[in-house]
Amino acid sequence: MRAWLAGLGLLLAATGIHAETKQQIYDRAQTAFDRFDWPVASAGFAQLLPAPPAPLKGASAVIAARLAEAELKQDQYEAARGHATRAVAGLADNPEERAQALITLGNASRLDLMMPEAIAAFSEAAKIGNTLPATRAAALIGLAQSASVYAPDTAAAALATLVADPKLMAGWSNERRAQVEALQGRAELNRGDFRAANRFFDAAVRDSGSLTSNKVSMVQVALRGDAAIASQMLGYDESARKYLAFSGAGHVNWDNISRGNLQPPVCGQPDDGPDAIQPDDTAVVEFSIGPDGEVTNAMTIFASRPGPMGIGFARAVRDWSWRPSAVAKLNPFWRALVRMQLRCITRPAPESIYDGFQRETRKWFDEQGLTTAEFHKLWNGDSSPLDANLAGTDARAIAALMGRNDDTKLNAADRARLDKALDATNAPANVRALILFNVLQAHEIGTRSSAGAAASRLAAALPGFAARWPNSEGTPWLRLSYARALESAGDFNAAQTQLEMVLATPVTYLPEASLIRSVATVHLAALHKRAGDTVAAMRLVTDAGLSAEQCALFDLQPVSTAGGGGTSDFPEEALSWGFDGYVLLAYDIGADGRTTGVRAVVAYPPFIFDAAATKVVKRLRYLPPVLDGSATGCNGARRSISFKSG
């Protein structure tokens, strides 16, 4: 340390800066670093560095390495990579510090899902660390973590080197040794040798405390989840469910979590090359959900084939998010390590009517002076019930009140405050329409009973809105939403009346090209065809100029007429273990109204409920859209199914 401080003093003297002042900055930063106060440490170390592209040497390079490590602890991966790269370049004469900087660079790259860069950094660190057992061991473990899915042969070789040298693991605890065994299992799992993987995972579970401990750590949760995957691949269903039961899988409350923004990756095209995600590919991704609802530490644990494909799934999960108010209802321990099975979707989610109203609403809040961060914090429920914003009459009050509109409707007092704030801000009709849609939970039409309840809420609210804003797009949209709820509830005659009223809206207020008009036309044509009036159905879509391509471009919300799940669809084994689950399925609708190409694209826990959910969706029947003069198939439909054991 004395040599390091002397070097720092020489550096400061050379730059002509008062040494005592800079020394104080360094001391404050290093003290913060030792206390794990990463923001203060980062700010201090950053003050001591010359701006790039000035090269770093000696003490300044070590400071850059410390800064990179502090940034890594704050999930600032890009900044950490930049400073670690500068540090590595300036530490050629200091092998120990250079190896540590390479490990920081490797971890920042790995956590940012840049696996080739991570593998290169850890490989170089392992070579430098030949005479430093602890450094070499850390580099080999980092190399195995980075390569287990991307290049599992490389991971297996790194771990073989680690366990072959007694000095590298001397004095390690059983739990730490179990983590190495689990990494060996992951490498074999992704190499396709499931039996070898199973042996490693069994050993890891045993060395970490078996399944008998009253207390469980995150390490044990991960190990048991790994063992479950290997058992599932081998067809050892009972063993897999046992491991999952002791990992906490199936015990996350999906009443709240299933409402997140869960967008699977889009499948690649045949000419995208072998690294693109294909429909037959699957992966298990592990991640944490922070209190702000954002995903952190997304990492692919298993992929059906090695290479970049598996990492693509983790990149998709990294963009997921949930409402903070929903996350607050989850057990913090279990949301710190969630695993899901994923497949890709064959096409992106089509444009929906809601998307357009949402963009218009967000623009209005921008005009009211809310920053993006402030808007999302309030709208997503990240505010206390005592928040001063709730009592206001400005746009912040509106966003804060909507943040309370979570899994229950706003109470009468909140509704009154919301109406007062909307009037005080002179909120546009379309903004009010989106807010009313959310307050009424008009999207909750997944079952006949929930659709009937949504229809009742819309029936009560629609006349007042239509009377006040008869010439807005919001009125026909809410009317269309009412018709959709009636359809899902099985009241097709009442739905037809509402659809006809939508189409009667003057084009001055609802243009011919409006998505609202197109969706209403398709639904009314389907109802005509259902009633046997094919001529009327064909005339509607022909006059509107609609074609079969509309199904791919827009969310036409086809009408479900039959099917659904029941208690008999709950897997008996999962029921006996008390698992809950969630599955998001993607499928197409044929011209005969039957579902085709049903695929589970998101499943929790992995491999447990996807088969049962697929059977449920295969039984669904729809009124197919009438386009190009006849009933036509519709691609890209989605449906989520929740399984609750109690």
Structure tokens that stand for 560 in this block? 């479900």
Is the pLDDT score of 632 beyond 70?
no
Residue range 193-215: average pLDDT? 85
Tell me the per-residue pLDDT of 218-235, one tens digit each, with 9 for 90 and over.
Answer: 888 888 899 999 999 999
* Contact present, 92 and 98 (Cβ < 8 Å): yes
Residue range 181-201: average pLDDT? 96
In this structure, which amino acid lies at residue 96?
E
What pLDDT was estimated at residue 409? 67
What pLDDT was estimated at residue 495? 95
What pLDDT was estimated at residue 328? 80
Tell me the torsion sign for CA atoms 159, 165, 167, 169: positive
Tell me the per-residue pLDDT of 279-304, one tens digit each, with 9 for 90 and over.
Answer: 999 999 999 999 888 899 999 999 99
Q: Is the peptide bond before 605 cis (omega within 30 degrees of 0)?
A: yes
Highest mean pLDDT among 209-213, 340-344, 376-380, 409-413: 340-344
Residue range 598-624: average pLDDT? 88
Structure tokens that stand for 316 in this block? 């998709």
Which one has a higher pLDDT value, 247 or 60?
A: 60
Q: Specify the range with the lowest mean pLDDT, choosing from 115-119, 189-193, 322-326, 369-373.
A: 322-326
- Residue 160 CA neighbour count, 13 Å, CB half: 8
Residue range 243-262: average pLDDT? 68
Tell me the per-residue pLDDT of 367-397, one tens digit each, with 9 for 90 and over.
Answer: 999 988 888 888 877 655 446 667 788 999 9
Tell me the per-residue pLDDT of 131-164, one tens digit each, with 9 for 90 and over.
Answer: 788 999 999 999 999 999 999 999 999 999 999 9
Q: Specify the range with the lowest mean pLDDT, choosing from 107-111, 411-415, 584-588, 620-624.
A: 620-624
**pLDDT above 90: percentage of residues in the chain:** 51
- How many angstroms separate the CA atoms of 244 and 178, rounded? 18
- How many angstroms separate the CA atoms of 125 and 134, rounded? 11
Is the pLDDT score of 633 beyond 60?
no
What pLDDT was estimated at residue 507? 93
Q: Give all domains of the chain, ordered by start, each with its CATH number.
A: 1-171 (1.25.40.10), 254-342 (3.30.2420), 353-553 (1.25.40)
Scanning the structure block, which residue is given the tokens 């040798």?
193
Mean pLDDT of the chain: 86
What pLDDT was estimated at residue 329? 80
Structure tokens that stand for 228 in this block? 């479950």
- How many angstroms separate the CA atoms of 176 and 199, rounded? 17
Tell me the per-residue pLDDT of 500-533, one tens digit each, with 9 for 90 and over.
Answer: 999 999 999 999 889 899 889 888 988 888 888 8
What pLDDT was estimated at residue 469? 94
Q: What is the 3-state secondary structure (H, E, C) of 477-514?
A: HHHHHHHHHHHHHCCHHHHHHHHHHHHCCCCCCCCCCC
What pLDDT was estimated at residue 1? 40
Q: Specify the range with the lowest mean pLDDT, choosing from 13-22, 417-426, 485-494.
A: 13-22
**pLDDT above 70: percentage of residues in the chain:** 84
CB atoms within 10 A of CB 569: 15
Structure tokens that stand for 536 in this block? 């009327």
What pLDDT was estimated at residue 312? 94
Q: Specify the range with the lowest mean pLDDT, choosing from 241-245, 335-339, 382-386.
A: 382-386
What is the reported pTM? 0.84
Nearest 5°: phi and psi at 633?
-70, 165
**CA–centroid distance for 624 within its chain:** 31
